[in-house]
Amino acid sequence: MKTSTKISVILILYGITQCQPPAHPSQWSDEKLNDWFESGAYLNGLPLIPDPSIDHRSFAIHYYEYKEKWDRAFAFLKNTDLANIALGRIELGDNIYATVSEYFPKDRDATLFEVHQKYIDIQCVVSGNELIDIALLKDMTVTNPYDSGNDITFGTIPEFSELKTSPGQFYIFFPTDAHRPALKAENDSASVRKIVVKVPFF
């Protein structure tokens, strides 16, 4: 094969390679996955910090497959006056919605873990502070069977990790993530204002 022909073949193969879409996040290395998460490119200018507790791979995979839904959710958080928006439910379109609530956090022994099947939670504390316990769904003993109308199951889990929330961050909980939100931080009796954006899981 002539040298010029070899060069042409190489250039064609290179061009084909460059035109291929990036590998699915399920195939990414841990390094690439962490780089993507830390880059925050998916936020499109949203000035909130994703908490490290977020399942990087689950997030990357779902974002890759449902990018428009995530972009819509993050755009709402970016373009809305979260401190003054009215309480209640807000329909965002594409089966995405947000709830705005204010409350006084509860004692840990007065609450249960919860999980969802249809929706992913993006939880954002706007003012105040609360604790959120997190654990794996597989470790949960169900006390209240799944309520399809409210998309929620309640239960107990003996061992868990604790997140100390603060304004400026957000937390994501997938259907495999059991979480116990709205817990009172020690010596903190202030009320909490919180936004939860519900992104369809499928």
> Does the pLDDT at position 133 exceed 80?
yes
Q: What is the model's pLDDT at position 6?
A: 46
pTM for this structure? 0.87
Residue 110: CB partners within 8 Å, gap ≥ 6? none
Q: Position of tokens 């998309």?
A: 151
Q: Report all structural domains of the chain as residue ranges with CATH numbers, in order of start.
A: 25-200 (2.60.120.370)
pLDDT, residue 18, reads 42
Phi, psi values for residue 21, rounded to 5°: -65, 155
Report which of residues 197 and 22 the model is more confident about. Answer: 197
* pLDDT for 189: 79
Question: Tens digit of pLDDT for each residue in 155-193?
Answer: 999 999 999 998 999 999 999 999 999 999 887 878 999
| Confidence (pLDDT) at 188 | 80
What is the tens place of the pLDDT at every residue in 68-108? 999 999 999 999 999 999 999 999 999 999 999 999 999 99
Q: Write out pLDDT tens, residues 19-36.
A: 444 689 999 999 999 999
Per DSSP, what are the bridge partners of residue 171?
123
